[in-house]
């Protein structure tokens, strides 16, 4: 009897509950709305313990080595891998991205290529080979879980060479490509340097620079001072040397000269000697790239901005961003134009509103 009364009482409460629920509107949107994920939420990320850092093993013809990467943010739809310049520079030249990408919800990855700063620095110079670097990027992509649904590859200067070469072989893995401050031909870069930029220097300064070049005294302090004071401050970063951003100074300090000289050569006035990149040219191949592509050029760059604009027109789906006040490191000396255009490109591709005419 006692159990029966309990069942009747329970049933009555159930009926009352059902009756009351009929008078309550059902919020379908509330029930189906996906849970928002905090951009900086590290939950269930396997790099949480290291604050986004991963040491990624890469296989090379000379054995296995480790390269350093660091993730900032958490956006499964937008992931940007940053390829630094040099060759042999470091991720530090992109630290200013911290002032722009997080507020836009863009996930991005710092990455020191093999031979650079936090990554292993083997001494075998045969490793400083362009095709090998392309395969390194592919191994890094796989390790980070980047796919053509979310993977944007950004490369500046030497990183732009590497980005173009990667896209020519692996564009099926990309959602978007950014080629920043790099033309598609080293011989044309050298021609622009010799015929356009050099004559803009004070004739006395140019004559003294060339005297050191002819004697191959590339490490002479006077030569380096002339290059930095009269060339770098006009075409690399348009700021007085004592005002250079601290990340730039650190990156120069951490440059690996073995990688740099092997691929770029000893001269700071172009690519000369037996540098492995001396004859690099992919102008006749760029029309094969069909993914959304942004080419970034600048008025005062060491690279001809007209050639950067040509790249945007040569690929099948390209857009050109011109940094009117910038030089080779436009992310510092023309930040407003640089980041506005870069972020717009990424967002347009992500929103499926990308057009080469914008």
Alpha-helical regions (H) of the chain: 2-22, 28-32, 130-144, 158-170, 186-192, 203-214, 221-227, 233-235, 246-253, 257-264, 305-314, 330-333, 335-350
First vs last Cα of the chain: how many Å apart?
Answer: 80
Q: Please, what is the angle between helix 158-170 and helix 130-144, to 10°?
A: 70
301 among known catalytic residues: yes
Q: CA neighbours within 13 Å on the CB side: how many for 282?
A: 23
Give me the catalytic one of 258, 301, 333, 334. Answer: 301
Burial class of residue 6 in the structure, from the number of CB atoms within 10 Å of its CB (0-12 exposed, 13-18 middle, 19+ buried): exposed
Instruction: For residues 33 and 29, give the distance between their C-alpha atoms in angstroms, rounded to a whole number.
Output: 6
Give me the catalytic one of 157, 251, 267, 330. Answer: 157
**How long a stretch of residues is the chain?**
358
Give me the catalytic one of 328, 330, 333, 350. Answer: 328
List of residues 6+ apart from 288 with CB closer than 8 A: 168
173's tokens: 């893995």
Residues annotated as catalytic are 157, 301, 328
């Amino acid at each position: 009897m006692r159990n029966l009364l309990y069942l009747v009482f329970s049933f009555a409460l159930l009926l009352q509950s059902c009756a009351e629920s009929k008078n309550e509107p059902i919020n379908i949107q509330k029930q189906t709305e996906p849970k928002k994920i905090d951009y900086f939420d590290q939950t269930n990320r396997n790099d949480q313990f290291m604050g986004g850092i991963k040491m990624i093993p890469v296989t090379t013809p000379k054995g296995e080595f480790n390269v350093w990467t660091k993730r900032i943010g958490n956006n499964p739809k937008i992931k940007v891998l940053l390829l630094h310049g040099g060759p042999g520079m470091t991720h530090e030249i992109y630290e200013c991205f911290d002032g722009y990408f997080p507020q836009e919800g863009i996930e991005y990855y710092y990455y020191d290529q093999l031979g650079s700063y936090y990554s292993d620095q083997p001494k075998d110079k045969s490793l400083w080979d362009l095709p090998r670097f392309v395969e390194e990027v592919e191994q890094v992509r796989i390790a980070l879980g980047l796919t053509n649904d979310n993977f944007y590859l950004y490369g500046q200067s030497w990183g732009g060479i590497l980005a173009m070469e990667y896209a020519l072989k692996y564009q099926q893995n990309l959602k978007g490509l950014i080629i920043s401050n790099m033309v598609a031909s080293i011989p044309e870069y050298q021609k622009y340097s010799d015929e356009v930029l050099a004559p803009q220097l004070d004739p006395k300064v140019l004559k003294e620079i060339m005297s050191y070049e002819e004697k191959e005294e590339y490490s002479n302090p006077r030569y380096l001072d002339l290059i930095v004071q009269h060339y770098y401050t006009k075409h690399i970063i348009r700021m007085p040397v004592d005002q250079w951003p601290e990340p730039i100074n650190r990156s120069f300090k951490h440059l690996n000269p073995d990688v740099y000289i092997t691929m770029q050569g000893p001269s700071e006035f172009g690519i000369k000697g037996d540098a492995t990149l001396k004859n690099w040219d992919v102008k006749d191949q760029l029309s094969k790239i069909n993914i959304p592509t942004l080419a970034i050029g600048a008025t005062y760059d060491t690279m001809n901005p007209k050639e950067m604009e040509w790249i945007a027109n040569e690929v099948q789906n390209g857009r050109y961003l011109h940094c009117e006040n910038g030089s080779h490191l436009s992310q510092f000396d023309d930040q407003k134009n640089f980041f506005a255009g870069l972020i717009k490109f990424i967002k347009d591709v992500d929103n499926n509103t990308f057009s080469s005419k914008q």
